[in-house]
C-alpha cells in the first residue's frame, strides 16, 4: 500500500537566530505594531543579569507590565495571576524570556485572555483543545533552555488540586515568532541547559521511533539529533562556545518537527509528565532517566529498524540506541536513575497508573496494554 500521511503547518511566522535578543525582539515588536507589551520573564534573569533590562530598554515605553514569578511546571494559579496582570495592562503582545515554564505559561495566558478565563474552575473549559475563542494577543518567545516548547501549539499547565499536568491546545497559541540568541543561554545553569537538551533529544528520538513517523519529520529530527549530540558535548567541554550553543538551539528547534506535524511521542514523554507534575522532577531530568529505559524496553518490537536510525544519527551506526543514549547522558553528568532523583520503588504503582492516562503512553511504538508494562520500564530506570 502506498504510504499515506498529512502534514499541517503551524501558525508560527518566523524564527530569528544568531542576532542579539534585544535587537531582534524590538524589530519584531515594531513589525507587529505593538504598543502595550506584556513581558513574562525568568525571575532569575530579571534579578541576577542585565538581560531583561536590555530588552526593556530596546522596547522603550511600550512595556506595559512585567511578570517574573512563574514557578516550575506552570501551575494554574500563577497562569491566572499573569493573565490578570496582562488583562489589566491592556496587553497587545506578550514577550517571553526564559525556560519552558514561562513559555508554556504565556501560551496559556493567550487562551485565558481570549476566553475571559479568570478562575481555576474556568480553566477546565480550555483543556484538550476545547477552547472556544482563538487567541488575539500573540507571543514572541526568547527561550533560554532547550526544551523547545516554543515550537509547539500545546501548553502544559499543572492542576495544583490533582497534581496532574493538563494540556491546553489551540493552533494559534504557538508563538508568532521565536528568537534564538545563544549568548543569552550563558546565564542558564549548566545542569538546566544540558538536561533540557536531553528533553529535545527525547523529542527527536521518540519522533523517529514512532509508528506514525513520516519522512518530513524524520529529516528534521535526525538532523536535530546530530546537532544536539555534538553541540552538547562541545558545550560541556567549553561553556563559552557560542557556536556550540547555537547548534544546540537549532537542534532543539528541529527536534519539534515530529510533534508539530502530528507524530505522537511515546512512553518517555508520558512517564515524564507524571514525574514532573506529581513528583516535581525537572522536565529535562525526566528524559535523562526515562529515555534510555524506554528505548531498551521498546527494542524488542523495533522490527522497522527505527532505533538503528537513532544510533547512526548519534554517530555510532550499529550500536544499541538505548545503551548509546545512556552513555551520552551519563557523560554530560546528568542523573541516570529514578533513585538519583529520590523516587523509590514504592512509588512505581502510582506512577504506572497515572502514566496510562497521559496522551503518550498509549501511543508508544511497542504497545503498552496496562500499568504492569509501565512497571517493567520503571524497573529498568530504577
Predicted pLDDT at 73: 86
DSSP state of 127: B
Phi, psi of 8 (to 5 degrees): -110, 125
Percent of the chain with pLDDT over 90: 88
Q: What is the mean pLDDT of residues 263-290?
A: 94
Rounded Cα distance, 159 and 162, in Å: 6
Report the SS3 class of residue 153.
coil
- Give the C-alpha distances (Å, rounded to integers) separating 190 from 313, 333, 354: 24, 10, 31
Flag the least confident range among 90-104, 136-150, 159-173.
159-173
SS3 percent helix, strand, coil of the chain, rounded to 5, is 55, 10, 30
Query: Is 90 exceeded by the pLDDT of residue 77?
Result: yes
Nearest-10 crossing angle of helices 190-209, 215-237? 160
Q: What is the mean pLDDT of residues 115-138?
A: 87
Rounded Cα distance, 259 and 213, in Å: 10
Percent of the chain with pLDDT over 70: 99
Residue 189: other Cβ atoms inside 10 A: 10
End-to-end, the C-alpha distance of the chain in Å comes to: 42
Q: How confident is the model at residue 165 (pLDDT cuts 50, 70, 90)?
A: confident
Q: How confident is the model at residue 7 (pLDDT cuts 50, 70, 90)?
A: confident
Q: Among residues 207, 205, 197, 199, which one has the least CA distance to residue 313?
A: 205
The full set of domains in the chain, from first to last, is: 14-182 (3.40.50.1970), 200-380 (1.20.1090.10)
Predicted pLDDT at 8: 84
List, in order, residues 6 or more apart from 307 with CB less than 8 Å away.
209, 295, 298, 299, 320, 321, 322
Higher pLDDT, 37 or 166: 37
Q: How confident is the model at residue 6 (pLDDT cuts 50, 70, 90)?
A: confident
List, in order, residues 6 or more apart from 278 with CB less than 8 Å away.
163, 164, 350, 351, 354
Q: Among residues 239, 250, 170, which one has the least CA distance to residue 204?
A: 250
Rounded Cα distance, 182 and 242, in Å: 6
Predicted pLDDT at 28: 98
The model's pLDDT over 37-66, given as tens digits with 9 standing for 90+, comes to 999 999 999 999 999 999 999 999 999 999
Query: Is 80 exceeded by the pLDDT of residue 131?
Result: no
Q: How confident is the model at residue 1 (pLDDT cuts 50, 70, 90)?
A: low
Flag the least confident range among 157-161, 207-211, 345-349.
157-161
The model's pLDDT over 80-120, given as tens digits with 9 standing for 90+, comes to 999 999 999 999 999 999 999 999 999 999 999 999 999 98
Cα angle vertex 67, ends 203, 33, to 5°? Answer: 85
Q: Among residues 78, 132, 131, 140, which one has the least CA distance to residue 103?
A: 140
Cα angle vertex 91, ends 88, 97, to 5°? Answer: 110
Amino acid at each position: 500500500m502506498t504510504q499515506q500521511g498529512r502534514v499541517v503547518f503551524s501558525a508560527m511566522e518566523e524564527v530569528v537566530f544568531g542576532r542579539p535578543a534585544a535587537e531582534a525582539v524590538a524589530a519584531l515588536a515594531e513589525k507587529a505594531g505593538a504598543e502595550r507589551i506584556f513581558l513574562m520573564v525568568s525571575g532569575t534573569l530579571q534579578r541576577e543579569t542585565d538581560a531583561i533590562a536590555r530588552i526593556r530598554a530596546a522596547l522603550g515605553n511600550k512595556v506595559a507590565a512585567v511578570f517574573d514569578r512563574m514557578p516550575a511546571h506552570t501551575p494554574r494559579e500563577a497562569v491566572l495571576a499573569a493573565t490578570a496582570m496582562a488583562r489589566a495592562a491592556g496587553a497587545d503582545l506578550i514577550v517571553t524570556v526564559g525556560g519552558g515554564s514561562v513559555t508554556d505559561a504565556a501560551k496559556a495566558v493567550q487562551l485565558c485572555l481570549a476566553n475571559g478565563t479568570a478562575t481555576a474552575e474556568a480553566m477546565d473549559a480550555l483543556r484538550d483543545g476545547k477552547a472556544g475563542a482563538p487567541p488575539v494577543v500573540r507571543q514572541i518567545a526568547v527561550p533560554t533552555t532547550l526544551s523547545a516548547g516554543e515550537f509547539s501549539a500545546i501548553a502544559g499547565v499543572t492542576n495544583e488540586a490533582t497534581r496532574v499536568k493538563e494540556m491546553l491546545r489551540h493552533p494559534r497559541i504557538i508563538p508568532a515568532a521565536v528568537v534564538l540568541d545563544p549568548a543569552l543561554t550563558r546565564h542558564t545553569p549548566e545542569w538546566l541547559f544540558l538536561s533540557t537538551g536531553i528533553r529535545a533529544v527525547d523529542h527527536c528520538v521518540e519522533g523517529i521511533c514512532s509508528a506514525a513517523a513520516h519522512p518530513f519529520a524524520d529529516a528534521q529530527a535526525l538532523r536535530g539529533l546530530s546537532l544536539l549530540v555534538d553541540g552538547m558535548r562541545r558545550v560541556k567541554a567549553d561553556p563559552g562556545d557560542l557556536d556550540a550553543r547555537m547548534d544546540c538551539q537549532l537542534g532543539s528547534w528541529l527536534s519539534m518537527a515530529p510533534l508539530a506535524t502530528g507524530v505522537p511521542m511515546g512512553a518517555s514523554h508520558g512517564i515524564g509528565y507524571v514525574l514532573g507534575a506529581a513528583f516535581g522532577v525537572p522536565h529535562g531530568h525526566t528524559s535523562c532517566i526515562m529515555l534510555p529505559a524506554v528505548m531498551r524496553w521498546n527494542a524488542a518490537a523495533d522490527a522497522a529498524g527505527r532505533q538503528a536510525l537513532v544510533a547512526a544519527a548519534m554517530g555510532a551506526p550499529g550500536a544499541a540506541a538505548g545503551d548509546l543514549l545512556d552513555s551520552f547522558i551519563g557523560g554530560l553528568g546528568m542523573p541516570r536513575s529514578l533513585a538519583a532523583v529520590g523516587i523509590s520503588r514504592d512509588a512505581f504503582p502510582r506512577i504506572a497508573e497515572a502514566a496510562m492516562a497521559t496522551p503518550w503512553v498509549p501511543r508508544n511504538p511497542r504497545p503498552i496494554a496496562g500499568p504492569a508494562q509501565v512497571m517493567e520500564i520503571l524497573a529498568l530506570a530504577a
